[in-house]
Amino acid sequence: KLDRLVAAKVVRGDGGRASGLASFLAEARAMALFQDRRIVQIHELREQAEPPVLIMEYVDGFELGRLAPSLEFPQRARIVKEVCEAVQHAHDLGVQHRDLKPSNIMLDAELRPKILDFGLSSGDPSRGHFRGTPRYLAPEQLDASQPIDARTDVYALGAVLYELLTGVPPVGGVTEDEIVANVRAGAIRLPVEIAPGAPEPLQAIALKALEAKPQDRYPSAR
């Protein structure tokens, strides 16, 4: 009615309707907290629609992973810095994203980042294990006895930076079992082995954020 271009996200109709709707509600509530230009804005949740639909800001741009190879290293560093600031904003409001990865970050025409997909976000340290994308999960997300906190997103931010520097995720493996085993073992390949031209300070930041033990990482996204 307002003649405005928006993005619409719907619950899939191929099973898991209840869990899908619960994830929708969690995402809507989390996104409704934010007034941050680096986090996609939510306009409306139509819960009673068929199918239920989330109406969001439309981002005219590309996934970060697709554009990263064409960017200079200072540009990549600036983008990650902005994403870190936005994630810290979320943490200040008691929300952890828990599914950060290059495909959940869009760049608009001016190379400004927009964080998407808060469907797995939460502030509960005892919930959310074994959910998300294996290559970007922190070790504690694969151990239900360990709490999930802000440092879990710090790990994912390190994975995003690592991939921006090297072009590949930090954890290797062909099958999901191999990937999970490598995450648990902290088997991170040195960036210099893959991308010798990547600036050493940025490599060091990525590796610090990717430490297997949460206490060895940066304590916050800030």
The Cα 161–Cα 205 span in angstroms is: 8
Annotation marks residue 117 as catalytic: no
CA distances to 82, 126, 129, 132, 142 from 146, in Å:
29, 8, 9, 16, 8
Which H or E run contains 204? helix 200-209
Alpha-helical (H) ranges within 62-145 are: 64-67, 73-92
What is the rounded distance in angstroms from the CA atom of residue 88 to the CA atom of residue 90?
A: 5
CA dihedral 13, 17, 23, 27 (to 10 degrees): 50
Given the residues 3, 99, 149, 177, select the one marked as catalytic.
99
Give the active site residues.
99
